[in-house]
Amino acid sequence: MSNHYYSEKPSVESSRRNWEATLRGQKMSFTSDAGVFSKKEVDFGSRLLLDYYRFPESPGNILDVGCGYGTIGLTLAKERSEYHFTLVDVNERALELSELNAKLNRVQNITVKKSYLFSEVEGERFTSIISNPPIRAGKKVVHQLFDEAWDHLESSGELWIVIQKKQGAPSAVEKLESLFDEVSIEKKSKGYYIIRAKKC
């Protein structure tokens, strides 16, 4: 379906909009568009993930998988310039917006790449991976994200995700527990789970 936000080239007509949001105490400016996830506002799940995310103890490289127009990765990168962020997505329109929003918010410690999950970061390792996963792409894709996240984390690295109970949070926890040494539910709110999985 070409209008899907996890499509490479959304066919829906472009209709950009601009707004500001306060995230983690910072005022952020965003431009979004039709054909990207949560085009009208920063969605509740992303806000919740940002509220409860904790940076690794030591600076390093952090990956935002399915970055959309940059809500999560850019907010965190602006907060902590000593970390380098890689933002990846398959949606070319979203990636263009991530680049634009980095300039709007004067964020320079980022790299934006077109990548199907981890396909373009093979061989790279991260101290932290964060994702509001592409649920509409299906359970198989989401569980592939979990599998490949383990491979791309440094020792003691953590995967942070947000997922709704009705969209498979309990099965996501089970899958993560089969892969990671330590899995915790950091927060539940309005049916959303913030899950942290640590590779020891």
Q: What is the pTM of this model?
A: 0.93
Torsion of CA 165, 171, 173, 176, to 10 degrees: -140
Q: Where are the domains of the chain?
A: 17-198
Average pLDDT by stretches of 10, the chain with 200 residues: 52 84 97 82 94 95 96 98 97 95 98 96 97 88 96 97 96 97 98 97
Looking at domain 17-198, which CATH architecture does it have?
Answer: 3-Layer(aba) Sandwich (3.40)
CB 34 within 8 A of CB 13: yes
Q: What is the pLDDT at residue 7?
A: 60
Q: What is the pLDDT at residue 10?
A: 64
CB 114 within 8 A of CB 107: no
Q: What is the pLDDT at residue 6?
A: 54
Helices 71-79/92-104 angle, 10° precision: 30
Residues near 75 by beta carbon (within 8 Å), at least 6 away in sequence: 23, 24, 26, 28, 50
Q: What is the pLDDT at residue 122?
A: 95
User: Using the 8-state DSSP alphabet, how is residue 139 labeled?
Assistant: H
Q: What is the pLDDT at residue 115?
A: 96
Q: What is the pLDDT at residue 52?
A: 98
